[in-house]
Chains A and B, each alone.
Chain A
Amino acid sequence: MSDKRINIDAAFKKMSDIAGFEGIVFISGQGMVLAAKFAEGTVPAKAADGVAACVKDLEDLIKKVNATRMEELSVKGQARTVIFLRNRALGFLTVVFGRESMHPGLAWLKARETMEALEKSLDQLLSKQPGE
């Protein structure tokens, strides 16, 4: 998967009407940051790499315990909420960053829609004939 195939601006725009939303990151199954975008002056850009490393460790732990993967995760701190969602078909994670007040349910919903949209656009890309 190349980050060029992910329209990060469109995904960011779709999420930005959630109150408290600060940014979005896509992480590959191997734990690499594919694309990231944050609202200016909110989350430091290096946080995306840190989050990807933590998720990788967490997944390794879960696999060790019950041979499965993490599907969803929300972490709430005093300053910030982070939502993780794995798309089964695409295999990668969407991570949504927001202020502590960001509504997790709404963030899940929007993240799912973003994933589905991405899945659709990738399907279209893959079904195109060479030279088309």
Chain B
Amino acid sequence: MNGLATAILSSIWHRNRMVLRADSGERADSIFFELKPFIPQYRQLILCGQIPKEARFLRNAKFIETSDLNTLRRALAESFDEEELGAPPVQVVFFRADRPAFNDLLAHLDRGWMATTQAGLDVLTAAGLKPAEEIRTRTDTLALLDPLPKDMSLENRIMEDTKSLSGAIKAFRIQSKQHQVHLAFQAIQAELEATPRLTQSYLQETLRLRENTLKKVLEIGRRERRMDISSYVEETPAPVVDFLKKAAAGGVLSQAVVFDGMNLIGFARFGDIELPSRYFLQAWQILSRLETEGLPLGHCRTAELKTASQVTILFYHHRYLFGLIPARDADLPGLKLNIEGELARLWGKAKENP
């Protein structure tokens, strides 16, 4: 059951098209009300068709009450166009859709709608709307017209975390995550305009997002704003990811940051110690200043700093700057040996592919 709920949540969140079918119009409409908590509240709800009485009390909903499908099509097209200009993303709900509604209106909208209907599968097929997935109960069918999103791990985690909670709390948790993702996308857009280089690690750290949540932010943003900014967000280089995985194996690291010049290109937190990455960079910059302060160090390569609260920070510098905090119980000499070996391998690779 949780798997189905995950699929439905994910489909709605990704603005996939969806048809809610039942034997009676009332029953089909009632499925919409069951799914309503899954629709992000920041979206502009546009209700059309035979709008049921109870839907008239929905907050922030717009009603387009015309039976002229051409007029409706123009009105909806305009709403979708406005999204690109910064208007809230639209979620269209068409109540009691019939054959002409599917043929002349819904079949022309590529995303962001759901329809309640009594019509059979043949009506959908005739309109060129072939379900990618069907979720059936004894009396109802949910036809998901678009393939399920590839990565539903975040949705799965939300549903798993909230499975024993009340409906109201579950709705709160879903909505707060959806809002966080929505706001994060806005922040990234603004940051892109201000920063010449944006890395995944920097966004993960500053927005406090896990890797898969950040990917979700970019994907939902693409679906809602028709704007693919993922290519502007630099991923951590594969050899660095590989290094971090190997260096942290066995739970020996608490935190790792990797800088390319001033840019954070790798970030991982494994334990309870959390140091803002910019402090690693600042500390290294101070140490590198020793050279200009009249102490001929030559190229500065490594540093090991211990604080009075027993935090050790290791710095390694070559093409990138690595700042590492070992776990409190880590065997430091063994760890350093391992890291130096892995770095030698990494830098060997870097030399091959400069």
Contacts and interface: CB of A to CB of B under 8 A. Distances in A.
A8 interface: no
Contact of B299 (A47, A53, A77): A77
Contact of B303 (A57, A64, A74, A88): A74
Interface in A66-122: 66, 68-80, 82, 88, 97, 100
B272 interface: no
Q: Which of B283, B293, B306, B307 has the most CB of A within 10 A?
A: B307
B295 A78 contact: no
A43 B304 CA distance: 22
B283 A76 contact: no
Contact of B301 (A51, A61, A70, A78): A78
Contacts of A97: 295
A58 B303 contact: no
Interface in B296-330: 296-309, 311
Q: Which of B282, B291, B297, B309 has the most CB of A within 10 A?
A: B297
B304 A77 contact: no
B227 interface: no
A43 B289 CA distance: 16
A82 B295 CA distance: 10
Contact of B293 (A50, A70, A79, A100): A50
A18 interface: no
A95 to B, nearest CB: 10
B126 interface: no
B294 A75 contact: no
A17 B301 CA distance: 25
B306 A43 contact: no
Given A54-B287, A54-B289, A70-B305, A44 B294 contact: yes
Contact of B295 (A51, A61, A73, A76): A51
A50 B276 contact: no
A65 B295 contact: no
B307 A68 contact: yes
A79 B298 CA distance: 5
Nearest to B301: A76
Given A54-B287, A65-B279, A78 B297 contact: yes
Interface in B249-289: 275-276, 279, 282-283, 286-287, 289
Given A51-B290, A58-B287, A65-B279, A70 B297 contact: no
Nearest to A74: B304
Contact of B286 (A58, A68, A74): A58
B275 A78 contact: no
8 contacts: A43-B295, A64-B279, A66-B309, A73-B303, A75-B290, A75-B297, A80-B298, A88-B308
Interface of A: 43-44, 46-47, 49-51, 53-54, 57-58, 61-62, 64-66, 68-80, 82, 88, 97, 100
Interface of B: 275-276, 279, 282-283, 286-287, 289-309, 311
Given A65-B279, A69-B308, A77-B290, 8 more contacts: A47-B296, A50-B289, A58-B283, A62-B305, A66-B311, A77-B297, A77-B299, A97-B295
